[in-house]
A and B are shown apart, each in its own frame.
Chain A
Amino acid sequence: MGPLSLPDVSGYDEMILPGGKVRDAYKGYHRWLLGQAHDGLLRKRKEAELQFHRVGITFNVYGEESGTERLIPFDALPRVIPAADWRRLEQGAIQRVRALNLFLHDIYHDQTIVRAGLVPAEQIFGNAQYQPCMQDLDLPNRVYSHISGVDVIRDGAGTWYVLEDNLRTPSGVSYMIENRRMMMRLFPELFAHQSVAPVEHYPSLLLETLQESGAVPNPTVVLLTPGRFNSAYFEHAFLAQQMGIELVEGADLFVKDGFVFMRTTAGPQRVDVIYRRIDDDYLDPLAFRPDSMLGVPGLLSVYREGNVILANAVGTGVGDDKSIYPYVPDMIRFYLDEEPILANVPTWQCRDPKALDHVLAHLPELVVKEVHGAGGYGMLVGPAASHAEIEAFRERLRARPANYIAQPTLSLSTCPIFVDEGIAPRHIDLRPFVLSGKDTRLVPGGLTRVAMSAGSLVVNSSQGGGTKDTWVLEDGSC
């Protein structure tokens, strides 16, 4: 078999320059790729699938037959980020998360940003994610979002934009680590020739972050999962194991004498820090949803006493809500007195009648999202939607305009992926994971999500999106 044909792309491609030349960061990889045979790569893809299945790296899909497990499609071509690009991204993500933590502290204390007139009061206090029980509660290091996922994309011109912030229970980091392990297993020779920055130390950084968030020395840290039927259960188990901490369910914990304990074979053991992967609403049936079977009765009262730390804190959702998103650049200026390093995507808030008119007039060009939605559910991608879908959405938008925001359809950058016929470009995004303890930091990399079908802009795994390994090349290795 001859050399692989390379994609013919328009828009910003991560690997290929307009005119067909290969970008510097990809040169090493590209040379290697040209020497590979198509069926050799096919075999590697099979091997990867088999291995993921065997190891059980699967996720559960809501709404499908119970117990259905699917693999998230894995693409064996890496996405490469040059060191200089990464440094900027890293600084931008840290800046953003610091500002968001300051914002959360502020709105649960003095609300200076509201009084300064930068964010309308009703956007905060009328927000379903705002938790009055957090008012005036002081948290160690003033950190609310210990683990944040900042979703970034590149538009057609190659400029980075933040698409959204994830401050509740961002997931996907296990794929970042497993994808790297898979690449090193499939193609060890690639790592011998290029210095790809490591990401495997993420779990130890995470544990350090959780430990330093505790109010006591040598805290006992646990990971609280909704259980094995949750879509991200694999990740919960994976992270608990990598950190060497207990993976607990609500029923394993109980509250007594103002503290949280877990039931162990050697009797009750006190718990100091809970890395919870359960939404606020389900944490404590006495404080939130009384029908929740996943939480721990009385947990919130212990939390309010400062006798247990929750990561992330209760009420962080008000910081990553799509209705708050447009204000983040102003937050950065307000709290840090800095210019935002990473730009926001221009956003129309449909609650504003003028913006709504504009959106209604331009629906086929826009992406419209639910303010509180996540996972790619309940959104309209105008250019990809049928006339009927657009009209149906128009009605929903008119009925509840405040429930939606709209953004221009950005032509997300593309990156080559391996398909049955060879190599083809697909749209991608990137989710780096920012850890906030005493410092704010991240490992060099993140989860690159891929829209697996040609032309699609939806990268969410719940909608059939895939992932690929993300390489941050260290300086001088291009």
Chain B
Amino acid sequence: MLSRTAADLYWLSRYFERAENTARMLDVAWNLSLIPFAVDAREEITAPLVITGSLASYQASHDDIRVDEVMHFFTLDDGNPGSIFHCLRAARESAHAVRGKITAEMWESVNSTWLELREIRELGLEGYGASEFFDWVKNRSHLFRGATYGTSMRNDAFRFLRLGTFIERADNTARILDVKHQIGRAAGDGAVDFYRWHALLRSVGAYEAYREIYSEPINAERVSELLILRPEVPRSLRSCMQMLCELLPAIEGHAGQQSKRLAAVQFARLQYGDLDHIVDTGLHEYLTDFLRRVNELADTIREEYLEVV
């Protein structure tokens, strides 16, 4: 496959996944900021800025951290390269560039998402409804994933799409967990803590998984274990790395030795990891190290497959 095509497929699904993750993250922040007691709305609404590393760029264009402004910044703001608007436009542009490599149904799901988003933008977030918007983004992402899963040939195009999804998802799950952990550590109030972890599980769609796997009340350690080590949870770091480990060797040709090695090493660390080790290391330190490794893997994939000189 052409390297440029692979890059467009990879970024198409990365951007779509990023839009979905951003919607999930905002949904939590939005809901928590609406809880009138105990929660510091300002802190909740700052979290997405911290998670995505965009606090500085937000502050450069805004005087104050206000719920409506942060929401706009992340959803429909054309000027923020991390906004859902921007992600879905980039996804659509990538899809346009590989129009001939994806199925008609995949293209239609991306293209109609973009057309609808433009209409939503006319209404504005308040006009459309914030919760409705986040649900819409999640549904569009489900639709695209379903169209991909249901119609794409199992070839390198499919593999590069999936690579993008899991690199982005691993990165995002680690960030979301890290930030929630840090806010939670600072607050310490039992009820608020419960709301936070509960919201986090909901945001990654893992609330039911927690209930099914653990019989104990929701707490930080179990949530961490669930989202880092459990193989059954599709957004856990382990699941993401397992997928990357399966995808990379399946790509045709002999390129990508370094990428395959990095993915395999990281997967082994998760597969044979345990919670005690993570607690001893410190969750924040553990996740920081993980993020560094995922980004190294992403860079290597780029060098070995996507931008071959």
Contact among A234, A248, A262, A267 with B99 in the assembled complex (CB-CB below 8 Å) = A234
Complex contact A237–B99 (CB within 8 A)? yes
Residues of A within 8 A of B2 (CB): 246, 248, 252, 262-265
Residues of A within 8 A of B107 (CB): 55-56
Interface residues in A212-238 by Cβ distance below 8 A to B read: 227-228, 233-234, 237-238
Complex contact A241–B101 (CB within 8 A)? yes
Interface residues on B, range: 20 to 34
Bound CA span A249–B97, Å: 10
Closest chain B residue to A254, Cβ basis: B309
Q: Is A359 an interface residue (CB 8 A)?
A: no
Closest chain B residue to A238, Cβ basis: B100
Complex contact A266–B111 (CB within 8 A)? no
A274 to chain B, nearest CB (A): 14
Interface residues in A14-29 by Cβ distance below 8 A to B read: none
Contact among B5, B100, B104, B255 with A267 in the assembled complex (CB-CB below 8 Å) = B255
Complex contact B4–A249 (CB within 8 A)? yes
Q: Is A201 an interface residue (CB 8 A)?
A: no
- A 242-267 binary contact with B (CB < 8 Å = 1; else 0): 00001111011000000000111111
Q: Is B60 an interface residue (CB 8 A)?
A: no
Q: Is B3 an interface residue (CB 8 A)?
A: yes
Q: Is A240 an interface residue (CB 8 A)?
A: yes
Selecting from B135-143, B207-215, B237-245, B246-254, the interface stretch reads B246-254
Contact among A246, A248, A265 with B308 in the assembled complex (CB-CB below 8 Å) = A265
Residues of B within 8 A of A228 (CB): 93, 96-97
Q: Is B78 an interface residue (CB 8 A)?
A: no
Residues of A within 8 A of B160 (CB): 265
Residues of B within 8 A of A247 (CB): 5, 100
Contact among B99, B104, B253 with A265 in the assembled complex (CB-CB below 8 Å) = B253
Residues of A within 8 A of B100 (CB): 237-238, 240-241, 247
Closest chain B residue to A236, Cβ basis: B100
Complex contact A266–B4 (CB within 8 A)? no
B interface, CB within 8 angstroms of A: 1-6, 93, 96-97, 99-101, 104, 107-108, 111-112, 115, 156, 160, 251-256, 305-306, 308
Q: List 25 A-B contacts (CB under 8 A).
A: A54-B108, A55-B107, A56-B99, A56-B111, A228-B97, A237-B100, A238-B99, A241-B101, A246-B2, A246-B5, A247-B5, A248-B2, A249-B4, A251-B4, A252-B3, A262-B2, A265-B2, A265-B3, A265-B6, A265-B160, A265-B251, A265-B253, A266-B252, A266-B254, A267-B308
Known: A265-B1, A266-B252. 18 other contacts (CB 8 A): A55-B107, A55-B108, A56-B111, A237-B99, A240-B100, A241-B99, A241-B100, A241-B101, A252-B4, A263-B2, A263-B4, A264-B2, A264-B253, A264-B308, A265-B305, A265-B306, A265-B308, A266-B1
